[in-house]
Structure 1
């Protein structure tokens, strides 16, 4: 065998070892974004905030709030990158459903590049910590921006993040955004995380796009029949759980965790 062939074989072998897998189809899942804790028995996939350590021995998804700020980080953003916060009449545009979270400004290529450098550093941190995949939240900020952001802005930005994650051998999940699934410019997401798709009759399009690579969360602040219907329809295919809306740890008021 030639020296070139040996080099190519070594590279291919290295890539196959380094490459990250997708979440296992239908495996028991838990979302712990409200605080890390020992996963329930049988759990194989866990989502945790990037500030938390991954769960040993499981498939770990690293949560980053990629399209808007966390309330505890607003001072940092305003001190270091005020131009990357979306504003209206000189004031930050705030998510009406999550007080204190400001929308990030993805409206120009220059701002998308600057944001990708910042969020890219977070993704690198996830990789160093041993995570397997990325969950980037609030892809739909364009819908809450009063026209200041476009769908194309956010898709272009998340494309940069996906490229960064893939370079680090991390899978990348689409968080919600069912209306984007049939777009020709949808970036190369590897799996989906969907909230309340049973409630809104949105689960089918995710299956069409991602097959069984879907992590589904139904919540206790909707009728209990939706979780039961989800399990009856897709249990064993999707990874389906019932959680309290704030995804709290055990012992906190309202904590709920069930799987199909």
Structure 2
């Protein structure tokens, strides 16, 4: 399932790690300097020639509680659970029903889930603390992506590719601002997230940056579009709100933003989303078939 961690909290945690909190100008300068240093250490982005990429204005459905069934919605993109659709049947049906439709593969890239078919593949050394409120899940030591953890994630990406997905949505790729049980840093998260993006591109799939709002400036060159939960409720959607990062940076780069609110009435966020050229929905917490789009279909 989806997980939600406020980037406002992330920003505070990142600042606490990076600086002793002097005046605002000096603090902002140090944050920018640390971010530039981290980004400079990353590998070059792997190009993804010929990959499917959503247009800035793309109608979509995000349905994770169960695979969608006919009749499908007349939307341009579906984002569904990768394991539930790993046989490729639903993916093929979605594409046949609307040629050109993109289908996105949801996987968790930051947590162990004890109900997944590959659960026994995770060595004890990569398993961290339990996720609060999510039984059966534990944080992962993303620093081990060059070892056994990387092999597991590569297999998950291969699964998505084999099933015919066009893109991947890796969840929980902001563990460094959470109590994982590991001393993860922003640099650790950047390295892992850049690696995930490059691995997806190597397989001919585009990739969405899920949440991790504070690292948008460094990760923008690697990610093809973005997906966010509750940035309007948390007042963290735009650079104007945050000062250094925001989803408007994706739009400015010609990359689509998909955004969901759960609690706010549509009257409190849709106009703002439309003004930013975001593709926003009102969804239930369990991400079932119900949806209220802010624009279009």
1:191 matches 2:225: yes
Q: TM-score, normalised by structure 2?
A: 0.68
CA RMSD of aligned residues (A): 2.7
Map 1:42-81 to 2 at 5 A. Answer: 42-51=74-83, 52=85, 53-54=90-91, 55-56=94-95, 57=99, 58-73=101-116, 77=119, 80-81=122-123
Flag as ranges the 4+ runs of structure 1 deviating above 6 A.
none
Gaps of 5+ in 1: 1-14, 87-92, 250-254
Q: TM-score, normalised by structure 1?
A: 0.77
Q: Are the counterparts in 2 of residues 196 and 216 from structure 1 also a CA contact under 8 Å?
A: no
Map 1:66-145 to 2 at 5 A. Answer: 66-73=109-116, 77=119, 80-86=122-128, 93-108=129-144, 111-144=145-178, 145=180
Gaps of 5+ in 2: 1-46, 239-245
Deviation for aligned residue 1:65: 0.2
In the aligned structure 2, how far is the partner of 1:209 from the partner of 1:217? 12
In the aligned structure 2, how far is the partner of 1:39 from the partner of 1:198? 32
Q: 2:275 aligns with which of 205, 227, 233?
A: 233
In the aligned structure 1, how far is the partner of 2:120 from the partner of 2:161? 27
Number of the residue aligned with 2:286: 246
In the aligned structure 2, how far is the partner of 1:65 from the partner of 1:161? 12
| Secondary structure at 1:61 match in 2 | strand
In the aligned structure 2, how far is the partner of 1:112 from the partner of 1:225? 46
Q: Are the counterparts in 2 of residues 116 and 161 from structure 1 also a CA contact under 8 Å?
A: no
